[in-house]
């Protein structure tokens, strides 16, 4: 899977679901992708580190639902801006790709 | 761009705590794995199956950790940190070397920081006024005096006729006596100013207001206090505004208090408004210092030519007073700081910069020797794949770390120097605007030179270390040093010796100047006199005495009272002291058309009592001295100095001839024809290159004046012991008079303050430079003897005598020092011209100084090279056959 895609999915997840720990993010992505994306779940943490470095998300330690200490991640203002920009970008590329591929079929 | 920067910064942030970040990642992955296992167990798997499934789903957690680890690294930063650690380890291995190098650098950097503080204060720091670049000082220029004070009428005309100034203001010092309700009188440094003085300088008022044009009045009746005086004497009470205080026994209304950060020009504690006195010849009496604020973006040169135009108009309109006068416009900073201080501080900075350079060279030498010893280590590093730039970086990091340590210590040295500076710098050497302080600018300067120094002395070893072939070093059994390194070190030492010679020559010239100044024969014989200066009102008659007669009586009674004191030999009033400056005044020889109309006779006129010349010890060479018979009612007389007699009377006997001498008077000056009754020995009026001692002495009884000094000569003992008795005697005559006292020696010493301080500083630095150079010579010789031990061993084994080995080492020392000395002398000959303005009584190319420097160098060089030479001659021949 593309690195940037995973980052975007993580951001989107945090935006819609609010603060989450890594496990929760992995579950959410698993759920909405209907297991179409076979995920090497550990890579979520590399993605989270990348996003932390850019200050698009923030992290804090808390307690998970089963009373384990877990790190919760939340999207920041800058992250939300980035998400909007990336989403638009993504939709544009997706549309172009769709047109291009459909054109190829017709040919 | 911005988010990249943020990312880089947080990468650096994470890099610093990378171990913790990794632990956290590990913990998170473990927790994630546990949750997955729980989930699969919940779905009905066995624990083992659940574990396997969970691991598969999570993937390789080690790879993730590594990815995170790499993500948080910055390669150069890591290498930099590692280099610093290596450098610190290296420095700790040899504490002696580190301490020596760090202290050397600390001295150099500290001295430079302190001198920079002086340069900063004198040249760089903006004046404490708004828009200081637009502030100027305007002087009256004549052919003889490029910078003179200004008459109030000329000031008025400059102000109204110029086109390039926003505002102009006049100011002059005028000490005031402040009376307090308990009857005591305190003398306060004060100034009279024109109304817009405070606006011009952008002063802020704590309470009250600035002066207004409507405040001009005769006599003046309003006053502005400084915040300091307001707090000290009026308890900081805002209600003081509007109150009346007594100054010089006259009532003044306080209108404002100016904030403490305002500095007068020079600092004063209270200000009154200047007003022209009725009856004074206001265009002829010059006393004001004029400052101005240029209109925005008007250059100084424009203002200069603008005022020159005005001055030319005035010269045409008032030829009697303004003929051949023009103006000089200076930046206010230059005028306040003084060119002498500016050039002196630059001289110091240059000298101390050379000293720093020598500190660098010595440390570079130490490093070179060490790097040569580490050739093997570096070769191994290179063989293991470290690139040339990597090794250079390693070595440079070491030197920068060393410099940083030196810099921190240097900061401490600088602070200490500046802390003790006020007790070393002579009083009155620095004008009040020059305030030495260790501030952020100095700290920055210190950090900057420490870094530059680290690079400068690190480059040589790094260059040397990487220039050698790896194979050569690794196969040479670690015996040899590199030839190139030796040559480089020799060159550095030659440079050091040359610099030391240069500085020693400078110091020698300044010391000779000091000796010349000290041995100037001012012409008077007295050696220990008390000088007492009463604060009477400027001019006569005065508010204090009411009439010229009262003033005359005060002077006569005081002189008589003091002379009759036990322990006093003699006493006398005078208007100035020897060396106080030559103020030329045109006089005419009555009945001598040729002399008067031709070259004109210029002489310094002094008003003296009958006791003055005998007290000062100035012999009368012909005729008579003044006596008590020379009174206001007796025929006007004068005494002239020998120089005046010789220059203008061409061999004729001046006794009995008559001079027309202007009276010293505030109003229009009227000349008085005086008969010359005596010729006195010459007394120097200034310390110029030309002996200027043309003087005319006039009995003060015939021209009373209140700006006077009383000289008191003790019959026995020290002059200063007389001070209490003299003060009491003056108080018996008039107890309202505040007195300032000093000894003649104190006063004379102030004339040589600047040269003495310059000579002391430069000599100190030159001595430091000499020591550094000799340490350098010693280091290079000792090291080369150490390296050539085997060679000396062989020589001695083959029968070389002690003397011949000694000769061998001393010859190489001689070559180094001789070459350095030669280069230094050439440099000194070039640079000596640049300090010629600081010299007196000695030519820049003074052979005696240069020879003296060579002698000092020879003596110290012998000491520096004797020890290595002796060590070489005592090498045990056995070392020749041992392999270490």
- Tens-digit pLDDT profile for residues B408-424: 999 998 888 888 887 77
Nearest CA in chain A to B60: A42
Query: Can you tell me the distance from the alpha carbon of A70 to that of B874, in angstroms, rounded to the nearest whole number?
Result: 75
pLDDT of residue A98: 87
Percent of chain B whose predicted confidence (pLDDT) is above 90: 24
Do B32 and A53 make contact, defined as CB atoms within 8 angstroms? no
What is the DSSP code string of B471-524?
HHHHHTTTT---HHHHHHHHHHHHHHHHHHHHHHHHHHHHHHHHHHHHT---S-
B616 pLDDT band, cuts 50/70/90, is very high
- Across the A:B interface, residue pairs with CB atoms under 8 Å apart total 74
Query: Can you tell me the distance from the alpha carbon of B149 to that of B162, in angstroms, rounded to the nearest whole number?
Result: 18
Of the candidates A40, A45, A82, the beta carbon closest to that of B28 is on A45
Query: Can you tell me the distance from the alpha carbon of B772 to that of B791, in angstroms, rounded to the nearest whole number?
Result: 29
Question: Could you tell me the two tokens for B345?
Answer: 């501080």
What's the whole-number average pLDDT of chain B? Answer: 84
The answer to whether residues B666 and B539 touch, using CB atoms and an 8 Å cutoff, is yes
B601 pLDDT band, cuts 50/70/90, is confident
Q: What is the distance in angstroms between the Cα of B259 and the nearest Cα belonging to chain A?
A: 48
Nearest CA in chain B to A78: B3
Do A22 and B14 make contact, defined as CB atoms within 8 angstroms? no
* Strand extents, DSSP E, B535-597: 568-574, 585-589
**Burial status of residue B567 (CB atoms within 10 A of its CB: 0-12, 13-18, 19 or more):** middle
> Is the omega angle on the peptide bond into residue B541 within 30 degrees of 0, that is, cis?
yes
* Strand extents, DSSP E, B228-380: 244-247, 250-258, 270-273, 286-294, 326-331
Do B71 and A42 make contact, defined as CB atoms within 8 angstroms? no
Do A45 and B63 make contact, defined as CB atoms within 8 angstroms? no
- Is residue B807 within 8 angstroms of chain A, CB to CB? no
Q: What is the mean pLDDT of residues B672-688?
A: 89
pLDDT of residue B179: 79
Which of A39, A53, A61, A67 is most worth mutating to test chain B (most B CB atoms within 10 A of its CB)?
A53
Question: Could you tell me the two tokens for B290?
Answer: 């004029």
DSSP B581: -
pLDDT of residue B818: 92
| Max mean pLDDT range (A15-19, B8-12, B77-81, B456-460) | A15-19
Judge whether residue A27 has pLDDT over 50.
yes
Do A42 and B7 make contact, defined as CB atoms within 8 angstroms? no
Count CB-CB contacts under 10 A for residue B720.
15
Do A54 and B29 make contact, defined as CB atoms within 8 angstroms? no
Residues 6+ apart with CB under 8 A from B247: B176, B177, B178, B179, B190, B223, B270, B272
Do A43 and B64 make contact, defined as CB atoms within 8 angstroms? yes
Largest CA distance in chain A: 58
DSSP reduced 3-state for B157 = helix
Nearest to B541 by CA among B631, B666, B662: B666
- Is residue B25 within 8 angstroms of chain A, CB to CB? yes
pLDDT tens-digit readout, B805-828: 888 888 888 988 999 999 999 999
DSSP reduced 3-state for B620 = strand
- How far separated are the first and last CA of chain B, in Å rounded? 59
Of the candidates A21, A23, A43, the beta carbon closest to that of B59 is on A43
Q: What is the distance in angstroms between the Cα of B76 and the nearest Cα belonging to chain A?
A: 18
Nearest CA in chain A to B38: A66
Of the candidates B10, B31, B60, the beta carbon closest to that of A42 is on B60
Residues 6+ apart with CB under 8 A from B102: B402, B405, B406, B409
- Is residue B587 within 8 angstroms of chain A, CB to CB? no
Please give the torsion angle defined by the CA atoms of residues B421, B427, B433 and B434, in that order, rounded to the nearest 10 degrees: -30
**Burial status of residue B526 (CB atoms within 10 A of its CB: 0-12, 13-18, 19 or more):** middle
Do B59 and A46 make contact, defined as CB atoms within 8 angstroms? no
Going by their DSSP bridges, the two strands B671-680 and B637-641 should be labelled as: parallel
Query: Can you tell me the distance from the alpha carbon of A102 to that of B246, in angstroms, rounded to the nearest whole number?
Result: 103
Do B59 and A26 make contact, defined as CB atoms within 8 angstroms? no
Q: What is the mean pLDDT of residues B126-146?
A: 86
Of the candidates A21, A42, A53, the beta carbon closest to that of B61 is on A42
Query: Can you tell me the distance from the alpha carbon of B520 to that of B532, in angstroms, rounded to the nearest whole number?
Result: 24
Do A52 and B35 make contact, defined as CB atoms within 8 angstroms? no
Query: Can you tell me the distance from the alpha carbon of B202 to that of B293, in angstroms, rounded to the nearest whole number?
Result: 10
Query: Can you tell me the distance from the alpha carbon of B158 to that of B275, in angstroms, rounded to the nearest whole number?
Result: 17
Query: Can you tell me the distance from the alpha carbon of B662 to that of B586, in angstroms, rounded to the nearest whole number?
Result: 8
Of the candidates A23, A42, A50, the beta carbon closest to that of B59 is on A42
In degrees and rounded to multiples of 5, residue A20 shows phi and psi of -140, 155
DSSP B148: B
Q: What is the mean pLDDT of residues B48-67?
A: 86
DSSP reduced 3-state for A84 = helix
Judge whether residue B245 has pLDDT over 50.
yes
Query: Can you tell me the distance from the alpha carbon of B394 to that of B382, in angstroms, rounded to the nearest whole number?
Result: 12
The answer to whether residues B367 and B378 touch, using CB atoms and an 8 Å cutoff, is no
Q: What pairs with residue B743 in β-bridges?
A: B530
Q: Which residues of B touch A45 (CB under 8 A)?
A: 25, 28-29, 32, 64, 68
* Strand extents, DSSP E, B7-141: 135-141
Judge whether residue B394 has pLDDT over 70.
yes
pLDDT tens-digit readout, B685-742: 877 666 778 999 999 999 988 888 999 999 988 888 898 999 889 888 887 777 878 8
The answer to whether residues B580 and B692 touch, using CB atoms and an 8 Å cutoff, is no
**Backbone angle region of B301, left / alpha / beta, with phi > 0 → left and psi within -120 to 50 → alpha:** alpha
B598 pLDDT band, cuts 50/70/90, is very low
Name every residue in A having a CB less than 8 A away from some CB of B: 21-23, 26, 39-43, 45-46, 49-50, 52-55, 64, 66, 68-71, 78, 82
Q: Measured between alpha carbons, how far is residue B325 from residues B271, B299, B300, B314, B597 in Å?
A: 30, 22, 19, 9, 20
Do B59 and A50 make contact, defined as CB atoms within 8 angstroms? no
DSSP reduced 3-state for B193 = strand
Judge whether residue B772 has pLDDT over 60.
yes
Question: Could you tell me the two tokens for B856?
Answer: 């000092």
Of the candidates A39, A40, A42, the beta carbon closest to that of B29 is on A42
Element (H, E) at B715: none
pLDDT of residue B294: 94
Which of B4, B17, B28 is most worth mutating to test chain A (most A CB atoms within 10 A of its CB)?
B28
CA A40 to chain centre: 14
Do B58 and A68 make contact, defined as CB atoms within 8 angstroms? no
pLDDT of residue B591: 74
| Max mean pLDDT range (B413-417, B637-641, B671-675) | B637-641
pLDDT of residue B209: 93
Q: What is the mean pLDDT of residues B15-30?
A: 82
Q: Which residues of A touch B11 (CB under 8 A)?
A: 53
Q: What is the mean pLDDT of residues B541-557?
A: 78
- How far separated are the first and last CA of chain A, in Å rounded? 29
DSSP reduced 3-state for A70 = strand
pLDDT of residue B2: 65
pTM: 0.68
B833 pLDDT band, cuts 50/70/90, is confident
> Is the omega angle on the peptide bond into residue B850 within 30 degrees of 0, that is, cis?
no
Query: Can you tell me the distance from the alpha carbon of B32 to that of B690, in angstroms, rounded to the nearest whole number?
Result: 97
- Is residue B17 within 8 angstroms of chain A, CB to CB? no
Q: Which residues of B touch A68 (CB under 8 A)?
A: 31, 34-35
Nearest CA in chain B to A44: B64
* Poorest-pLDDT segment among B81-95, B366-380, B527-541, B788-802: B527-541
Judge whether residue B483 has pLDDT over 70.
no
* Poorest-pLDDT segment among B239-253, B587-601, B622-636: B587-601
- Is residue B29 within 8 angstroms of chain A, CB to CB? yes
């Amino acid at each position: 899977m593309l690195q940037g895609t995973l980052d975007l999915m993580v951001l989107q997840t945090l935006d819609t679901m609010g603060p989450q720990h890594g496990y929760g993010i992995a579950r959410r992505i698993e759920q909405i992708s209907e297991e179409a994306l076979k995920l090497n779940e550990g890579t979520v943490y590399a993605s989270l580190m990348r996003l932390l470095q850019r200050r698009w998300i923030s992290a804090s330690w808390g307690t998970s639902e089963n009373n384990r200490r877990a790190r919760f991640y939340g999207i920041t203002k800058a992250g939300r801006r980035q998400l909007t920009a990336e989403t638009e970008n993504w939709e544009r590329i997706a549309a172009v790709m769709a047109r291009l591929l459909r054109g190829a079929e017709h040919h | 761009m911005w988010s990249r920067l943020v990312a880089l910064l947080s990468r650096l942030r994470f890099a610093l705590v990378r171990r913790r970040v990794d632990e956290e990642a590990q913990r998170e992955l473990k927790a994630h794995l546990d949750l997955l296992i729980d989930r699969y167990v919940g779905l009905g798997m066995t624990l083992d199956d659940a574990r396997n499934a969970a691991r598969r789903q999570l993937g390789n957690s080690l790879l993730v950790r590594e990815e995170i680890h790499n993500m948080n690294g910055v390669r150069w930063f890591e290498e930099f940190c590692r280099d610093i650690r290596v450098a610190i380890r290296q420095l700790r291995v040899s504490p002696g070397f580190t301490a020596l190098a760090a202290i050397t650098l600390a001295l150099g950097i500290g001295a430079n920081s302190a001198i920079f503080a002086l340069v900063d204060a004198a040249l760089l720091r903006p004046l404490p006024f708004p828009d200081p670049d637009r502030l100027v000082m305007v002087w009256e220029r004549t052919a003889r005096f490029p910078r003179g004070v200004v008459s109030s009428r000329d000031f008025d005309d400059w102000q109204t006729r110029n086109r390039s100034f926003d505002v102009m203001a006049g100011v002059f010092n005028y000490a005031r006596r402040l009376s307090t309700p308990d009857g005591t009188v305190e003398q306060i440094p004060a100034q009279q100013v024109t109304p817009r003085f405070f606006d011009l300088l952008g002063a802020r008022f704590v309470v009250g207001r600035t002066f207004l044009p409507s405040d001009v009045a005769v006599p003046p009746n309003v006053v502005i206090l400084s915040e300091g005086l307001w707090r000290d004497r009026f308890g900081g009470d805002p209600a003081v505004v509007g109150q009346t205080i007594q100054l010089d026994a006259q009532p003044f209304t306080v209108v404002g208090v100016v904030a403490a950060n305002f500095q007068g020009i020079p600092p004063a504690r209270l200000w009154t408004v200047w007003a022209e006195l009725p009856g004074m010849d206001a265009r002829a009496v010059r006393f004001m210092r004029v400052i101005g604020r240029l209109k925005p973006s008007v250059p100084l040169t424009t203002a200069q030519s603008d005022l020159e135009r005005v001055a030319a108009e005035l010269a045409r309109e008032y030829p009697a007073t303004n003929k051949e006068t023009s103006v000089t416009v200076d930046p206010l900073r230059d005028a306040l700081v003084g060119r002498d201080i500016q050039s002196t501080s630059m001289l110091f900075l240059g000298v101390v910069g050379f000293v720093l350079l020598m500190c660098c060279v010595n440390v570079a030498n130490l490093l070179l020797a060490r790097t040569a010893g580490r050739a093997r280590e570096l070769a191994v590093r290179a063989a293991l794949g470290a690139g040339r730039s990597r090794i250079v970086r390693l070595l440079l990091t070491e030197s920068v770390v060393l410099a940083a340590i030196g810099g921190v210590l240097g900061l401490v040295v600088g602070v200490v120097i500046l802390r003790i500076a006020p007790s070393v710098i002579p009083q009155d050497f620095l004008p009040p605007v020059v305030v030495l302080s260790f501030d952020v600018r100095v700290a920055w300067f210190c950090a900057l030179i420490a870094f530059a120094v680290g690079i400068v002395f690190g480059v040589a070893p790094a260059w040397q270390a990487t220039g050698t072939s790896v194979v050569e070093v690794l196969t040479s059994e670690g015996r040899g040093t590199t030839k190139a390194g030796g040559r480089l070190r020799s060159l550095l030492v030659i440079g050091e010796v040359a610099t030391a010679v240069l500085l020693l020559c400078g110091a020698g010239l300044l010391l000779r100047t000091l000796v010349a100044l000290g041995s100037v024969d001012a012409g008077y014989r007295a050696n220990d006199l008390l000088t007492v200066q009463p604060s009477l009102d400027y001019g006569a008659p005065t508010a204090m005495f009411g009439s010229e007669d009262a003033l005359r009586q005060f002077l006569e009674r005081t002189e008589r009272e003091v002379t009759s004191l036990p322990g006093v030999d003699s006493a006398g009033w005078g208007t100035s002291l020897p060396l106080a400056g030559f103020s030329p005044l045109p006089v005419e020889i009555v009945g001598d058309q040729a002399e008067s109309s031709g070259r004109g006779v210029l002489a310094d006129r002094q008003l003296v009592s009958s006791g003055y010349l005998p007290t000062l010890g100035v012999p009368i060479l012909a005729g008579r001295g003044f006596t008590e018979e020379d009174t206001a009612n007796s025929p006007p007389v004068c005494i002239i100095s020998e120089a005046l007699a010789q220059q203008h009377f061409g061999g004729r006997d001046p006794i009995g001839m008559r001079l027309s001498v202007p009276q010293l008077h505030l109003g229009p000056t009227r000349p008085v024809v005086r008969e010359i009754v005596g010729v006195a020995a010459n007394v120097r009026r200034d310390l110029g290159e030309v002996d200027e001692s043309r003087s005319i002495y006039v009995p003060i009884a015939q021209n009373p004046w209140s700006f006077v000094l009383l000289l008191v000569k003790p019959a026995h003992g020290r002059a200063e012991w007389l001070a209490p008795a003299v003060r009491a005697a003056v108080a018996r005559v008039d107890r309202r008079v505040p007195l300032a006292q000093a000894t003649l020696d104190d006063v004379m010493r102030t004339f040589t303050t600047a040269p003495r301080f310059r000579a002391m500083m430069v000599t100190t630095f030159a001595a430091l430079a000499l020591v550094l150079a000799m340490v350098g010579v010693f280091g290079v010789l000792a090291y080369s003897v150490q390296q050539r031990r085997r060679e000396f061993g062989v020589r001695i084994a083959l029968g070389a005598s002690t003397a011949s080995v000694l000769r061998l080492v001393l010859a190489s020392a001689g070559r180094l020092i001789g070459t350095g000395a030669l280069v230094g002398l050439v440099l000194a000959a070039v640079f000596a011209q640049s300090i010629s303005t600081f010299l007196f009584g000695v030519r820049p190319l003074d052979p005696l100084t240069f020879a003296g420097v060579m002698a000092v160098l020879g003596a110290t060089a012998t000491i520096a090279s004797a020890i290595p030479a002796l060590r070489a001659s005592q090498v045990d021949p056995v070392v020749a056959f041992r392999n270490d």
